[in-house]
Amino acid sequence: DLSPYLEYSKMLTQRLYLQAGLRYQTTVVHYRDLLNAQNDYTVPNRGLYPNLLLQYMLNPAKASGIGVAYRHFFSLPNYGYYSPVATYLTKNLYSIGNQRLKQETFDEAEVNYFLNRDWQFTYRVRYGRNIIQIMTYKDESAPDLYYTQPSNVGSRWSHYASGTFNKSLFPFWRTNNILYLRYDQEQMPGRSVQSFSVGGTSTHQFTITKMVGLSVAFSGETARQQLGYTLGGRYELDLGCYASLLHDQLQLSLSLSNLLHSRDRITMRMGDTTEQLRIDLSPRRRLALTISYAFSAGDQVKPVRTESAATLSLERPVL
């Protein structure tokens, strides 16, 4: 892998901020079969991937503003999709990899509107091309023999809209809530699917004393349908507590994740009349204790404030 990049950022005016970048990515996969040299292969993937972010403050006093972002990015094929070794599923059907696979590429644009410090609205659209789907072909070497193989034959549209509310309702209670709607559309030769889902998160932090507090977080999403399978609806409830000691130098945090949670359910379609249901029964509850201690090394360590802007992967751009 080789991935050099350039990035430029500047406050063009007192209210307008620009960030632009360009990344060159090259990834070359080498496979060597020491038992059969005919299975050796080399797969290169290369491309240029730009990104752009503009943020304009409409009203600095109210923290009101708008941000527009764009990025072009990629996703490499699963390593197993390249396998040159045939795996028989039945006597008339086998699966085999494809060394001609290309990377999936995506274009994503996003608009963020900040009404004030409490409310934020987001719309994001993403288009993916060369999406890998498993196709079935007839093997011409024998009658009644078929094989499955991954191919870059699909495309995907995704629309996402959300509203975020972040506020201190009382001196002891701070809340952050996100409600989102998403619409996905996938296509491949002979098939297409559309899916609409609703989801959100709700996080609440309660201050008991100046040094001790509690947190409660809930998240959930309705079922989502994709080509080949359906993801079942999900929900999670997390609890936590924290303490700040020794004049805020010692931080303690105890979290219990997935105290209440749904089972991961995937319904896979095996042809026109057969479905396979997979349920993850492994326990998902996790207990984590985090301890951090902050100290100063004297005048040799000086705090430095850096200016930065959010990328598309962050929910709270810097204004």
For 180-191, how does the pLDDT look when each residue is reduced to its tens digit (9 = 90+)? 999 999 999 888
Residue 79 has φ and ψ, to the nearest 5°, of -55, -40
Give the pLDDT score at 272.
62
Of the candidates 241, 182, 233, the residue with the CA atom closest to the CA atom of residue 217: 241
What integer is the mean pLDDT of 282-309?
Answer: 71
Nearest to 110 by CA among 244, 311, 318: 311
The band of 227, judged by pLDDT with boundaries at 50, 70 and 90, is: confident
User: Is a pLDDT exceeding 80 seen at residue 301?
Assistant: no
Instruction: Decide if pLDDT at 269 tops 80.
Output: no
Question: What tokens does 149 get?
Answer: 């193989």
Count of alpha carbons within 13 angstroms of residue 7, beta-carbon side: 11
What is the per-residue pLDDT for 90?
A: 87
- Is the pLDDT reported for residue 308 higher than 50? no
Does residue 311 lie within any of the structural domains? Answer: no
pLDDT at residue 25 in the model: 93
The set of residues, in sequence order, having a beta carbon less than 8 Å from that of 211 and lying 6+ positions away, is 243, 244, 245
Name the β-bridge partners of 209. none
Q: Is residue 125 part of a domain?
A: yes
The answer to whether the beta carbons of residues 44 and 26 sit under 8 Å apart is: yes
Q: How confident is the model at residue 91 (pLDDT cuts 50, 70, 90)?
A: confident
CATH number of the CATH domain containing 248: 2.40.170.20
Average pLDDT score over residue span 276-300: 84
In-domain check, residue 81: yes
Q: Is residue 319 part of a domain?
A: no
Q: State yes or no: pLDDT of 313 exceeds 50.
A: no
Residues in the chain, how many? 319
pLDDT higher than threshold 60 for residue 317: no
Q: What is the DSSP string of 144-178?
A: T-EEEEEEEEEEEEEEEEEEEEEEEEETTEEEEEE
Q: How far apart are CA 147 and CA 143, in angstroms?
A: 12
Structural domain contains residue 312: no
Give residues with Cβ within 8 angstroms of 168, minimum separation 6: 174, 175
Q: Is residue 309 assigned to a domain?
A: no
d(CA 303, CA 296): 10
Residue 307 lies inside a defined structural domain of this protein: no
Q: Tell me, yes or no, whether 292 lies in a domain.
A: yes
pLDDT number for residue 283: 84
Q: What is the number of structural domains in the chain?
A: 1
The pLDDT of 227-256, averaged and rounded, is: 92
Residue 29 contacts residue 46 (beta carbons within 8 Å): no
Least confident of 23-32, 153-162, 297-306: 297-306
Calculate mean pLDDT across residues 286-308.
Answer: 70
Q: Look up the domain containing 122 and give its range.
A: 5-300
Q: What is the pTM of this model?
A: 0.82
Q: What is the dihedral of CA 223, 227, 228, 232, to 10 degrees?
A: -10
pLDDT of residue 316: 36
Q: Which amino acid is at 206?
A: F
